Chain A
Amino acid sequence: MKKIRRRDKMKIYGDLLRELHHRPKDEKIVITQIQRKTNVPFDRLKAYLQELLDLGLIEDDTSLILSEKGKQYLREYEKVLDFMSRMGLYYR
């Protein structure tokens, strides 16, 4: 399994996974919508989605459903955001 090397990528992965996980289940995936919500350029978004797949955080690149590992990563990410919010910090 590959390791996440660049630390600032963790935020992008977290935001992407959050967006993918919280979208309505019956909603058709529109890449441009994800791009707009996560504020990532289209070409880089495609690359990030491929990286999420390589890391085993999503099951495949068509359904973009989170794998168990992806859900675990997202849980940790959301806990950290919650902690920062409780500590009175902003996170954008």
Chain B
Amino acid sequence: MPLYEVERISLEAISAIVCFILLKFMIRSYQATGENRYLGLPLGFGFLGASYAFSALSYSQIFSFSNWGWIQLFIRGFAFLFLAITYYFSKSEKNVKLLWNTSFGVLIIMFTSLILFAIFSPEISRSDYVLYYILIRVVSLLCVFYIIVHSLARHVKKPESTLLAPLGYVLLAIDQYSSLIWVVDASYFALFVGLLTRLGGLVLFLLIAQRTFFRSKRKGE
């Protein structure tokens, strides 16, 4: 059994659970606003949770499937894309229904094609996997950087809003960067720094949800 497998599986599984708890709050927000442009929020966190769950499954080797790595790679990459376009479209003052629907449609088609490719493709060489891994992680990093800048700009405009969200995304960016180091250098230190900072970021989002939905509930009672 590879090194630290139990620790990796546990951290991936806990991250998946936290993401699925967050998903509930994201769905609630999407339902209350009723606007398609916020659909990326539940989709993004749902995809993130699914990708962590797939990682845990692939490490645990419960199901033997050679392309687990590709599936979790695509799902995680698209999670950050969905989140980034949600942040992008949220600032738009004009009616962006058509543009959103087009972007969303293109992403869904791309995602479905890539997942089908991952399931039905023959064995792909390790070097190709590493190349695509780096590419997708770099794109994910760019998406997270965009979200950080966006949420910081939002904070500057409305200082009473919290800094926890940009901080949470910074921690997710560190995770993406650490996973790049892990795949290139096989550094266990980078791997665990990434896993732990990611969990820290997700817990910060959970804290935001708790402060918003539960503290005010007690106040109102």
* A89:B87 contact, CB within 8 angstroms: yes
State in angstroms the CA–CA spacing of A14 and B28 once bound together. Answer: 14
* Max chain B C-beta neighbours (<10 A), residue from A10, A82, A86: A86
Does B166 touch A at the CB level, under 8 Å?
Answer: yes
* A83:B91 contact, CB within 8 angstroms: no
Does B208 touch A at the CB level, under 8 Å?
Answer: yes
State in angstroms the CA–CA spacing of A76 and B217 once bound together. Answer: 9
* A88:B150 contact, CB within 8 angstroms: yes
CB A76 to nearest CB in B, in angstroms, measures 7
* B29:A83 contact, CB within 8 angstroms: yes
What residues on A are CB-neighbors of B216 within 8 Å?
Answer: 75, 79, 82
* B151:A87 contact, CB within 8 angstroms: yes
Q: Which of A8, A75, A84, A88 makes the CB contact (< 8 A) with B29?
A: A84
Known: A14-B32, A75-B220, A79-B216. A90 touches B208 (CB 8 A): no
* A86:B34 contact, CB within 8 angstroms: no
Dominant secondary structure at the B interface: helix
What residues on B are CB-neighbors of A86 within 8 Å?
Answer: 161-162, 164-165, 208, 211-212
* A89:B90 contact, CB within 8 angstroms: yes
Does B25 touch A at the CB level, under 8 Å?
Answer: yes
* B212:A88 contact, CB within 8 angstroms: no
Does A80 touch B at the CB level, under 8 Å?
Answer: yes
What residues on A are CB-neighbors of B28 within 8 Å?
Answer: 80
Q: Which of A10, A87, A90, A92 makes the CB contact (< 8 A) with B34?
A: A10
Within 8 A of B (CB), among A32-77: 75-77
* B33:A10 contact, CB within 8 angstroms: yes
Chain B residue with the shortest CB-CB distance to A8: B34
Q: Which of B25, B32, B162 makes the CB contact (< 8 A) with A10?
A: B32
Please report A residues at the B interface, Cβ cutoff 8 Å.
6-11, 14, 75-77, 79-80, 82-92
Please report B residues at the A interface, Cβ cutoff 8 Å.
25, 28-29, 31-35, 38, 41, 86-87, 90-91, 93, 147, 150-152, 154-155, 158, 161-162, 164-166, 169, 205, 208-209, 211-213, 216-217, 220
A-B interface, 7 closest residue pairs, ranked by CB to CB distance from nearest: A88-B151, A7-B34, A80-B32, A10-B34, A83-B212, A88-B165, A8-B34
